[in-house]
Amino acid sequence: MIKKFLTLFFVLFISLFLLLFYGCKKAESGRISQGIEKVKLTDEMPKGNLEIYSWWAGDEGPALESLISLYKSKYPDVTVINATVTGGSGVNAKAVLKTRMLGGDVPDSFQVHAGQELIGTWVAAERMLDLTPLYQSEKWMDVFPKDLIKLLGTKDGIWSVPVNIHRSNVMWYIPDNLKKWNIEVPKTIDNFFKAAEALKAKNIIPLALGENWTVNHLWESVALGVLGADKYDKLWRGELSWTGSDVVKVWETFGKVLSYTNKDSASLSWQQATDLVVNGKAAFNIMGDWASGYMSTTLKLKPGVDYNWAPSFGNSGVFMFLADSFGYPKGAKNPAAIIEWLKICGSKEGQDAFNPLKGSISSRKDSELSKYNDYAKSASKDFQSNRIVGSLTHGVVANEGFMNDFSTVMELFLKSMDPIKAANACQAIAIQNGMAK
């Protein structure tokens, strides 16, 4: 009797919570609209809270602070909540953001790498607002380079406002050290191997490397160097086979480059890898130009004098870019404040306050170059004259599924050092993530 009662009871209760589930789903889909929706501009004076979600803490914190204080001086009625989750390249922040978005706790605006990382995840999920009206009213269509806008948008709209441009394929070094060691900056991959042999003989690490994502970062420079810009672009458009001899050669060369890096790389952060170069234990480091911000702002070194830079070996004349951007997620609570925030992100004033501290350059064509240090001036010049390609590790050319699986392939390669296996695995993940047939 008791057992029967209990069984009945459980059956009832299971059907009850299934209903509950169904109800929750319905409720959520009612709150956030589906499909493409354009942003609505308002003239309302912003007030209330504005939560800005990013991974800019620590060394990159001051740059974000400058943007926020500019906002506060314009709109003192708004309380800005600076929500940061640390972790280079946003590894932790992105995961936390997903749980927040799925849980309905949508931040007012969040940092996201422009390009496929935003499009493949949030635009495909129909959770962003189309910012085209904002672009038109602020006349951004003319001030941002056309190639950039193309990468920020899809055929349905433009999805975020870029605050900066970073360069991924930069090789950093200390000129005095190179002079001491009698080494010239290598322009081609073969030159690098020659220089690396000489450095190894002197017991100096030729190329400083950090934790896992910096290995992927190095890979994209090597891939660009081996393939050249045209084939590199084709690779991401799915027009160049991952199993072809070109890509196998990339993996072979990459394996050789890795043999010239420090053995303890997996336990170093990117800053610690840069430190190796700064304190003379290593000769070169390939890292994005946030390393310039780190060296000039945190370590107080003088660009062009205390440290210097060149495009990664084999990358001359090509600018591999990535951009941080802010978007407007559906379901955010304070429209007027968000729109003003996005306006500041895209404004000349905002970008010229933010970028000199961040070590990046403005994504606008009309930025005030006098405010920038020597590195940024040279980067801006390159940005306007060079061939532009997108970065893999920082979300421009591939969606998050591919990026994550690529890290796995990289681990397999680091363990097996087998170029053909790695190329085959890449083909498989490209198919799985809808980037090749």
Partner 1 sequence: MKIKKDYIISIVVILPSVILLGIFVYGFILNTVFVSLTDWGKGAGLKINPVINFVGFANYSDLFTSIIWQRFRQDMVNAVFYWLFILSGSLILGFFLAVLLDRYPRGESFFRTLFLYPFALSFIVTGTIWRWLFAPNGGFNVLPTLIKLPRIEFLWMSSRTSILNFNWQDIPLIITVFISLILFFVILRLIILKKNEIKLIIYSILFIIFFISFFIELFFAPPMINLKEMHGFNLASIGIIIAAVWQYSGYTMALYLAGLRGLPVSLYEAAKIDGASDMKFYLKIAIPNLWPITLSAIIIISHISLKIFALIFAMAGTDNAGTSHPSVLMYLTTFRANNFAFGASIAVLLLILSSLFTIPYLIYLYKQRTK
For residues 75 and 46, is the Cβ–Cβ distance under 8 A?
Answer: yes
What is the number of other CB atoms lying within 10 angstroms of the CB of residue 235? 26
Q: Which of 28/142 has CB closer to partner 1?
A: 28
Residue with tokens 């609505």: 40
Beta bridge partners, 81, equal: 51
Q: What's the min distance (Å) between Cβ of 346 and partner 1?
A: 26
SS3 assignment for 13-35: HHHHHHHHHHHHHHHHHHHCCCC
* 311: phi then psi, degrees, rounded to nearest 5: -60, 150
Residue with tokens 């010049």: 381
Q: What's the min distance (Å) between Cβ of 120 and partner 1?
A: 6
Binding window for partner 1 (CB under 8 A); candidates: 167-175, 352-360, 368-376, 410-418: 410-418
Q: Does 429 bind partner 1 (CB under 8 A)?
A: yes
Q: Which of 139/415 has CB closer to partner 1?
A: 415
How many CA atoms lie less than 13 Å away from 262 in the CB half-sphere?
A: 27
Q: Does 29 bind partner 1 (CB under 8 A)?
A: yes
- Binding positions for partner 1, 123-142, rule CB under 8 A: 124-127
CA distances from 22 to 19, 25, 310, 370 (A): 5, 5, 57, 59
Q: Which of 58/434 has CB closer to partner 1?
A: 434
Instruction: Write out the two tokens for 232.
Output: 């590199």
Figure out which of the listed residues 212, 243, 298, 378 binds partner 1, where binding follows CB under 8 A.
212
Q: Does 8 bind partner 1 (CB under 8 A)?
A: no
CA separation for the pair 112, 108 (Å, rounded): 13
Figure out which of the listed residues 7, 8, 13, 384 binds partner 1, where binding follows CB under 8 A.
13
Per-residue b or e along 26-44, where b marks 16 or more CB atoms closer than 10 Å to that residue's CB: eeeeeeeeeeeeebeeeee
Q: Does 14 bind partner 1 (CB under 8 A)?
A: yes
Figure out which of the listed residues 4, 43, 99, 139 binds partner 1, where binding follows CB under 8 A.
99
Q: Does 122 bind partner 1 (CB under 8 A)?
A: yes
The type of residue at 260 is Y
What is the number of other CB atoms lying within 10 angstroms of the CB of residue 237? 10
Binding pattern for the stretch 390-409 against partner 1, x by CB under 8 A and - elsewhere? ---------xxx-xxx-xx-
- Binding positions for partner 1, 253-312, rule CB under 8 A: 263-267
* SS3 assignment, position 394: coil
Q: Which of 136/408 has CB closer to partner 1?
A: 408
3-state helix, strand, coil in the chain (%, to 5): 55, 15, 30
Q: Does 121 bind partner 1 (CB under 8 A)?
A: yes
The type of residue at 412 is L
Q: Which of 260/341 has CB closer to partner 1?
A: 260
- Binding positions for partner 1, 64-93, rule CB under 8 A: 91
Query: Binders of partner 1: how many residues, by CB under 8 A?
Result: 55
Q: Does 432 bind partner 1 (CB under 8 A)?
A: yes
Q: Which residues bind partner 1 (CB under 8 A)?
A: 2, 9-10, 13-14, 17-18, 20-21, 28-29, 32, 34, 91, 94-95, 98-99, 101-102, 120-122, 124-127, 211-213, 263-267, 399-401, 403-405, 407-408, 411-412, 414-415, 421, 424-425, 428-429, 432-434
